[in-house]
Amino acid sequence: MKIELSKVSKRYRREWVLRDVDLILGAPGRFAVTGPNGSGKSTLLRILSGHLSPTKGQAAFSIQKTPLSPNDAWQYLSYAAPYIELIEEFTLLEALQFHYRFRKFAAGLQPKDLVGVLGFPDSAANKPVRFFSSGMKQRLKLALAICAETPLLLLDEPTSNLDKQGTAWYLDLIGQFAGDRLVVVASNVEEDYAFCTEYIDILQYKSKTKNIAI
């Protein structure tokens, strides 16, 4: 998958969050989006997902050189972020089975196989997600995204709520399933993007003046 941003800018009300972003991201790239909290990292990821439209500029998507509408980009990506909610009324196995209806898992994995991938005890399969700890919920979000069979993987603050063991599990999961996909990680924690080879400093796309005349 390939994404090209040309002079992309995003404004919320009177504030320009991003200005004149020119980027070309292609598989099998490993890109880290870095910058302080509130600097626009999540906004950039939403634009890369096609979920958020630029105020100015253009975001162009393609699969194997075939143009793709931003409205259809969701079919080719998986996304994990603190602000993406799980359906907590589901049991773990129900959550995995529901996700599998829309996104097949890599390497022929079936929903029940992911219980082991998550590192949870077998008894967790029938436990409602609402009873999981914050770390277990984060592992589930990451596994659903990383193990999905999609050409684009977007991760926002992936080690949120993970302890040292959970962070090691996350990096191992990336090693197993990232493959030749395009991977973009937004974070200001170095461990989150330790495997990345390209870096995007979000501060270079910040407006010097926050307010605009209406």
Per the structure, how many domains does the chain have?
1
Report if residue 160 sits inside a domain: yes
Question: What pLDDT shows up at residue 131?
Answer: 97
- Expressed as residue numbers, the domain containing 77 is 2-205
Report in angstroms the alpha-carbon separations of 46 from 78, 131, 146. 12, 29, 17
Helix (H) and strand (E) counts in the chain? 5, 9
Phi-psi region of 157 (alpha: psi -120 to 50; beta: other; left: phi over 0): left
User: Which CATH number goes with the domain that contains 161?
Assistant: 3.40.50.300
Report if residue 210 sits inside a domain: no
Report if residue 178 sits inside a domain: yes
Report if residue 124 sits inside a domain: yes
Going across the sheet that includes 2-12, the strands are 15-26, 2-12, 56-63, 66-68
Report in angstroms the alpha-carbon separations of 139 from 46, 167, 192. 21, 9, 14
Report if residue 213 sits inside a domain: no
- Beta-bridged to residue 200, according to DSSP, are 33
Report if residue 212 sits inside a domain: no
Report if residue 211 sits inside a domain: no
Residue 72: its H or E element:
none
Q: Which two tokens stand for residue 47?
A: 């634009």
**Digit-coded pLDDT (tens) for 106-138:** 989 999 999 999 999 889 999 999 999 999 999
The pairing of strands 2-12 and 15-26 is: antiparallel
Report if residue 214 sits inside a domain: no
Inform me whether the pLDDT recorded for 211 exceeds 90. Answer: no
**Residue reference for tokens 């926002």:** 156
Residue 85: its H or E element:
none
Question: What pLDDT shows up at residue 93?
Answer: 97
**Digit-coded pLDDT (tens) for 32-81:** 999 999 999 999 999 999 999 999 999 999 999 999 999 999 999 999 99
Q: How confident is the model at residue 207 (pLDDT cuts 50, 70, 90)?
A: low
pTM value is 0.94
Inform me whether the pLDDT recorded for 92 exceeds 50. Answer: yes
